[in-house]
């Protein structure tokens, strides 16, 4: 990340936002140096039920993205494997159709 320094990023888990929205938003406001704002209601957009990929596809995706995830984890200092092992951390796999086609070709 040679263009933007690490201090300009805030990394949040979606699980924290869903389970503790006000606490998570307070972190965002503090990071952005904005005054705290409280809302009685936080709406979830684009929520829904999504089918899970087969174990084979999931494993292929894990292996394909492993070097990129490792590099990101080293840069931001978060161990994604530990998060997944010790919490209700779940993966939702979203990717652009072009990426899907590119991945399938390999």
pLDDT in tens, the chain (106 residues): 578 888 888 888 878 888 888 899 999 999 999 998 888 777 666 667 778 788 888 889 888 988 888 888 888 777 766 655 544 434 433 333 344 444 444 3
Tokens coding 91: 């993966």
67: in domain:
yes
Q: How many domains does the chain have?
A: 2
Asked if residue 23 lies in contact with residue 16, where contact means CB atoms within 8 angstroms, the answer is yes
Distance of CA 57 to the CA centre of its chain: 19
36: in domain:
yes
Q: Do 81 and 53 fall within a single domain?
A: yes
Domain containing residue 20: 10-46
Cα–Cα distance between 17 and 27 in angstroms, integer?
10
Q: Do 54 and 106 fall within a single domain?
A: yes
Q: Do 57 and 92 fall within a single domain?
A: yes
């Amino acid at each position: 990340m040679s263009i933007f320094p690490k201090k300009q990023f805030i990394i949040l888990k979606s699980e924290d936002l869903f389970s503790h929205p006000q606490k998570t938003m307070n972190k965002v406001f503090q990071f952005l140096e904005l005054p705290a704002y409280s809302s009685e209601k936080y709406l979830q957009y684009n929520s829904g039920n999504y089918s899970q990929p087969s174990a084979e596809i999931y494993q292929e995706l894990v292996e394909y993205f492993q070097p990129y995830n490792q590099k990101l984890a080293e840069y931001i200092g978060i161990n994604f494997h530990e998060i997944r092992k010790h919490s209700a951390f779940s993966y939702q796999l979203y990717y652009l159709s072009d990426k899907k086609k590119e991945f399938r070709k390999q």
